[in-house]
């Protein structure tokens, strides 16, 4: 959402007008001064306290906890909440990253081949600055506490109260589902993690917005909540597509916009219990989230399992399932037509990144589509963006199709055609699919 | 994160309005000009002719004269840096807005603004609005309220125009 916190920063008194002014109109002092109307309770939580309050006040925290629990049909929890300054949060992040070793350059280099990230990750200081600037608050599922970042907004503002409701919903989700291990302890790909995040953040965002309407002094019955959530979606899509990295910005944008609309659709059918049904069958692919949201293509609950190629000459550095969102990102960045249709023809993918003794980078991305035509179209797209001849000796590129499967590979480090890539090229073409 | 910027340029638009209390208008203009000019002079940003030029030509552009009575003294106390970067005007306007009595026109505008901005995913509670816009004349608030029937992109442009800012 766009917060109003700096509305008055743009006021200016101008001292160079040339036109005549005019007098005041009537300015009677009323015998009984008007007052702001009392908040209109949400119909589902008529007994909650909707007066804005200071989130540092235990009584306020208790009241908002009860509101969050009521919205979700849960039992309220007692969750420690802290207001942290930006500087304190920055210091916390720096300390948590202090023991991190240098990131492997190969994965970023591979992503940059497809326009999914810059070739080099921004420095840690820039990553931390971005996080500090853009995070409103978070629920710590390990320490079971909530942190609200103090960006200069009043601690007793209605929007801060609504943000706290969002985080309190996370604490309730954690109590029900154990977020750190939900829905299972299987390793999670980027695509699956992002998809599941749409449910976690979507539910919390929906209740945040409903709470906000009442906290703002509005009658929820007169509020066009769907319009609000649609604009939120438009905003997060714009922000995510303008980012230089498809991965890093995705988690702090898409789940809120996409997830909230999905949660709202379920909620309208059956209230909180309908959202429980989403938790019982969480989305595992962004293709399913986007197909359902935009009404394009058929939602796919899972992607095709793609066996890793047998590569003896190289060392595996990293791998990922990137999913339909990344395909959409690539097409939108390229200004390609029919980006959504094209992206949602996804039926599976897997990216492998390798290196060798000379620290060259090799990447193979296998993608499965719903038709041979879609596969050819994607191969043509990759070819158009990345010619299959070495560019200044910096990278070699190969693409192939086999039915509904596309194979795209890059090699960096001045590797010639006689290098392992050629043998690799033959090897993965022989893999069954 | 995008910020919703609030249109509030003072002094460029020509408004026709009743002149029931010209003395209040004069006192407001004088207070503003005196306070601002004294501050500008302290900061070596203007000369001795400031007050004359200001009082002769200043158009309050829809700002209540009662608000100017408090903005002027507030500006007089502002530091030079905040005067130079215009932040003093915002700060003094905030104080003046909060000092203005709550009026039906303010409540009407703010209930409409809060609801319609919410549908555009712009968050502004009724209470915060009421604390922020009290220094505008009722007519200005009424004009801005008429923008709330528009689609979101047009709404923001319309409001900016109603408050005297170029879109």
The two tokens of residue B17 are 């309005």
Q: What secondary structure does DSSP assign to B4-71, as a single string?
A: -PPP-EES-S------SBHHHHHHHHHHHHHHHHHHHHHTTSS-TTHHHHHHHH---TTB-HHHHHHH
pLDDT at res. B106: 96
pTM of the model: 0.86
The candidate with the shortest Cα–Cα distance to A204, out of A232, A173, A147, A166, is: A166
What mean pLDDT is reported for chain A? 85
Is-contact A55 A168, C-beta < 8 A? no
Segments in A82-224 forming alpha helices (H):
86-97, 105-113, 124-134, 158-177, 190-215
Cα distance between residue A275 and residue A212, in whole Å: 20
A422 vs B: CB within 8 A: no
Q: Is the pLDDT of residue A213 over 60?
A: yes
Q: Find the range with the poorest average confidence among A52-61, A416-425, B59-68.
A: A416-425
What does the pLDDT look like over A277-303, one tens digit per residue? Answer: 999 999 999 999 999 999 999 999 999
Is-contact A219 B114, C-beta < 8 A? no
pLDDT at res. A400: 75
Q: Is the pLDDT of residue A397 over 80?
A: no
Mutate which: A1, A6, A15, vs B, most B CBs within 10 A: A15
Asked whether the beta carbons of residue B6 and residue A4 sit closer than 8 angstroms, the reply is yes
pLDDT-based confidence at residue A5 (cuts at 50, 70, 90): very low
Rounded (10°) CA dihedral B111, B113, B117, B118: -10
pLDDT at res. B59: 84
Total Cβ atoms within 10 A of residue B21:
17
pLDDT at res. A113: 84
Once rounded to an integer, what is the mean pLDDT over residues B55-72? 90
Share of chain A above pLDDT 70, in %: 84
Which of A50-59, A145-154, B111-120 reaches the highest mean pLDDT? B111-120
**Beta-sheet pairing, A145-150 with A81-85:** parallel
pLDDT at res. B21: 64
Which residues does chain B have within 8 Å of residue A235's beta carbon, measured at their own beta carbons?
2, 121
Q: How many residues does chain B have?
A: 167
Q: Is the pLDDT of residue A195 over 50?
A: yes
Mutate which: A18, A132, A216, vs B, most B CBs within 10 A: A216
Cα distance between residue A252 and residue A132, in whole Å: 12
Asked whether the beta carbons of residue B20 and residue A216 sit closer than 8 angstroms, the reply is no
Is-contact B61 B164, C-beta < 8 A? yes
pLDDT at res. A330: 93
Write the residue in A19, A134, A223 that is nearest to B118 by C-beta: A223
Which residues are B163's β-sheet partners?
none
Asked whether the beta carbons of residue B19 and residue A15 sit closer than 8 angstroms, the reply is no
Asked whether the beta carbons of residue B89 and residue A157 sit closer than 8 angstroms, the reply is no
Cα distance between residue A23 and residue B81, in whole Å: 32
For the four alpha carbons of A40, A41, A47 and A52, in that order, the dihedral sign comes to negative
Complex prediction ipTM: 0.85
Share of chain B above pLDDT 70, in %: 85
The two tokens of residue A78 are 């007692």
Q: Is the peptide bond prior to A276 cis by the omega test (within 30 degrees of 0)?
A: no
pLDDT at res. A35: 80
pLDDT at res. A211: 98
Write the residue in B11, B119, B132 that is nearest to A228 by C-beta: B119
The candidate with the shortest Cα–Cα distance to A328, out of A297, A304, A362, is: A297
Asked whether the beta carbons of residue B128 and residue A4 sit closer than 8 angstroms, the reply is yes
Q: Is the pLDDT of residue A418 over 80?
A: no
Is-contact B121 A232, C-beta < 8 A? yes
The candidate with the shortest Cα–Cα distance to A318, out of A252, A367, A364, is: A364
Cα distance between residue B124 and residue A314, in whole Å: 57
Which residues are B25's β-sheet partners?
none
pLDDT at res. B61: 85
Is-contact B60 B68, C-beta < 8 A? yes
Is-contact B7 B163, C-beta < 8 A? yes
pLDDT-based confidence at residue A340 (cuts at 50, 70, 90): very high
Is-contact A108 A117, C-beta < 8 A? yes
Cα distance between residue A384 and residue A165, in whole Å: 48
pLDDT at res. A429: 45
Q: How many residues does chain A have?
A: 433
The set of residues, in sequence order, having a beta carbon less than 8 Å from that of A66 and lying 6+ positions away, is A48, A49, A76
Is-contact A322 A190, C-beta < 8 A? yes
Cα distance between residue A105 and residue A112, in whole Å: 11
pLDDT at res. A33: 66
Cα distance between residue B152 and residue A228, in whole Å: 10
Asked whether the beta carbons of residue B118 and residue A14 sit closer than 8 angstroms, the reply is no
pLDDT-based confidence at residue A22 (cuts at 50, 70, 90): very low
pLDDT-based confidence at residue A30 (cuts at 50, 70, 90): very low
Cα distance between residue A320 and residue A189, in whole Å: 6
Distance linking the first and last C-alpha atoms of chain B:
20
pLDDT-based confidence at residue A100 (cuts at 50, 70, 90): confident
What does the pLDDT look like over A360-374, one tens digit per residue? Answer: 888 889 999 999 999
Q: How far is CA A29 from CA A60, B100, B136, in A?
A: 35, 11, 16
Residue A293 to chain B, least CA–CA distance (Å): 19
The phi, psi pair for A303, rounded to 5°, reads -100, 160
pLDDT at res. A32: 65
Using only C-alpha atoms, chain B has a radius of gyration, in whole angstroms, of: 16
Q: Is the pLDDT of residue A420 over 50?
A: no
pLDDT-based confidence at residue B15 (cuts at 50, 70, 90): very low
Using only C-alpha atoms, chain A has a radius of gyration, in whole angstroms, of: 26
Mutate which: B25, B118, B133, vs A, most A CBs within 10 A: B118
* HSE-CB for B36 with a 13 A CA cutoff: 31
Which residues does chain B have within 8 Å of residue A227's beta carbon, measured at their own beta carbons?
119-120
The candidate with the shortest Cα–Cα distance to B144, out of B105, B118, B103, is: B105
Cα distance between residue A134 and residue A121, in whole Å: 18
The two tokens of residue A86 are 């930006």
Check residue A103 and report its DSSP letter: P
pLDDT-based confidence at residue B6 (cuts at 50, 70, 90): very low
pLDDT at res. B10: 35
Residue B9 to chain A, least CA–CA distance (Å): 5
B146 vs A: CB within 8 A: no
Mutate which: B50, B55, B110, B121, vs A, most A CBs within 10 A: B121
Q: Is the pLDDT of residue A123 over 50?
A: yes
Coil, strand or helix at A45? strand
Q: Is the pLDDT of residue A12 over 50?
A: no
A193 or A414, higher pLDDT:
A193
pLDDT-based confidence at residue A394 (cuts at 50, 70, 90): low
Interface of B with A in 78-137 (CB under 8 A): 86-87, 89-90, 92-94, 97, 101-104, 107, 111, 114-115, 117-130, 132, 137
* HSE-CB for A351 with a 13 A CA cutoff: 26
pLDDT at res. A427: 47
B4 vs A: CB within 8 A: yes
B63 or A98, higher pLDDT:
B63
Write the residue in A4, A8, A19 that is nearest to B123 by C-beta: A4
Q: Find the range with the poorest average confidence among A84-88, A175-179, A370-374, A400-404.
A: A400-404
pLDDT at res. A220: 97
Chain-centroid distance of CA B38 in Å reads: 20
Q: What secondary structure does DSSP assign to B67-99, as a single string?
A: HHHHHHHHHHT--HHHHHTSHHHHHHHHHHHHH
pLDDT at res. A318: 93
Q: Is the pLDDT of residue A412 over 80?
A: no
Burial of A214 (0-12, 13-18, 19+ CB in 10 A): buried
**Beta-sheet pairing, A2-3 with B122-123:** parallel
A375 or A16, higher pLDDT:
A375
Interface of B with A in 59-88 (CB under 8 A): 59-61, 64-66, 71, 75, 86-87
Q: Is the pLDDT of residue A155 over 60?
A: yes
Total Cβ atoms within 10 A of residue B55:
15
Distance linking the first and last C-alpha atoms of chain A:
44
Share of chain A above pLDDT 90, in %: 58
Write the residue in B14, B111, B152 that is nearest to A19 by C-beta: B14
pLDDT at res. A417: 38
pLDDT at res. A293: 96
Which residues does chain A have within 8 Å of residue B18's beta carbon, measured at their own beta carbons?
22-26
Asked whether the beta carbons of residue B126 and residue A134 sit closer than 8 angstroms, the reply is no
Coil, strand or helix at A268? helix
Which residues does chain A have within 8 Å of residue B97's beta carbon, measured at their own beta carbons?
8
């Amino acid at each position: 959402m766009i917060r109003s916190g700096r509305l008055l920063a743009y006021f200016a008194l101008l001292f160079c007008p040339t036109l005549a002014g005019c007098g005041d109109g009537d300015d009677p002092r009323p015998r009984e001064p008007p007052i702001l109307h009392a908040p209109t309770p949400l119909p589902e939580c008529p007994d909650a306290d909707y007066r804005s309050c200071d989130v540092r006040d235990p009584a306020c925290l208790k009241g908002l906890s009860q509101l969050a629990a009521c919205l979700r049909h849960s039992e309220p929890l007692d969750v420690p909440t802290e207001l942290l300054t930006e500087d304190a949060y920055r210091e916390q992040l720096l300390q948590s990253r202090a023991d991190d070793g240098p990131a492997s350059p190969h994965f970023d280099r591979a992503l940059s081949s497809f326009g999914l990230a810059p070739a080099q990750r921004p420095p840690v200081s820039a990553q931390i600055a971005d996080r500090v600037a853009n995070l409103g608050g978070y629920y710590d599922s390990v320490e079971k506490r909530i942190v609200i970042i103090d960006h200069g907004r009043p601690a007793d503002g209605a929007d801060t109260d609504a943000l706290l409701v969002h985080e309190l919903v996370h604490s309730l989700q954690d109590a029900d589902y154990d977020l750190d291990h939900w829905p299972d302890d299987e390793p999670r790909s980027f695509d699956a993690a992002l998809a599941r995040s749409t449910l976690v953040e979507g539910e919390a965002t929906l209740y945040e917005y409903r709470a906000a309407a009442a906290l703002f002094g509005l009658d929820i019955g007169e509020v066009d909540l769907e319009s609000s959530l649609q604009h939120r979606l438009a905003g997060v899509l714009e922000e995510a597509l303008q980012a230089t990295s498809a991965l890093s910005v995705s988690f702090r944008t898409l789940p809120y916009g996409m997830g909230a609309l999905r949660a709202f659709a379920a909620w309208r059918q059956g209230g909180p219990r309908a959202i429980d049904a989403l938790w019982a069958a969480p989305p595992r692919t962004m293709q399913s989230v986007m197909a359902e949201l935009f009404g394009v293509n058929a939602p796919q609950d899972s992607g095709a399992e793609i066996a890793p190629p047998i590569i003896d000459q190289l060392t595996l550095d990293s791998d990922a399932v990137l999913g339909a969102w990344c395909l959409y990102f690539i097409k939108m960045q390229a200004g390609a037509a029919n980006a959504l249709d094209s992206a949602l023809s996804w039926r599976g993918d897997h990216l492998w990144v390798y290196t060798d003794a000379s620290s060259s980078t090799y990447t193979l991305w296998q993608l499965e589509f719903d038709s041979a035509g879609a596969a050819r179209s994607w191969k043509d797209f990759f070819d158009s963006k990345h010619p299959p001849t070495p560019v200044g000796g910096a990278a070699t590129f190969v693409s192939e199709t086999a039915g509904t499967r596309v194979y795209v590979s890059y090699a960096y480090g001045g590797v010639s055609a006689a290098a392992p890539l050629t043998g690799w090229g033959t090897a993965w073409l022989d893999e069954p699919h | 994160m995008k910020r919703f910027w609030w249109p509030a340029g003072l002094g460029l638009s020509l408004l026709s309005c009743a002149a029931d209390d010209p003395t209040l208008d004069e006192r407001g203009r004088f207070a503003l000009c005196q306070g601002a000019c004294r501050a500008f002079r302290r900061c070596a940003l203007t000369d001795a002719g400031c007050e004359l030029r200001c009082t002769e030509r200043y158009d309050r552009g829809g700002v209540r004269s009662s608000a100017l009575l408090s903005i002027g003294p507030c500006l007089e106390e502002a530091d030079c840096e905040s005067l130079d970067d215009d932040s003093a005007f915002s700060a003094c306007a905030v104080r003046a807005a909060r000092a203005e009595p709550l009026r039906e026109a303010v409540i009407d505008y703010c209930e409409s603004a809060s609801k319609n901005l919410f549908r555009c995913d712009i968050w502004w509670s009724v209470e915060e609005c009421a604390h922020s816009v009290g220094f505008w004349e009722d007519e200005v608030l009424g004009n801005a309220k008429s923008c709330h029937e528009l689609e979101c992109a047009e709404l923001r442009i319309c409001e900016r125009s109603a408050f005297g800012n170029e879109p």
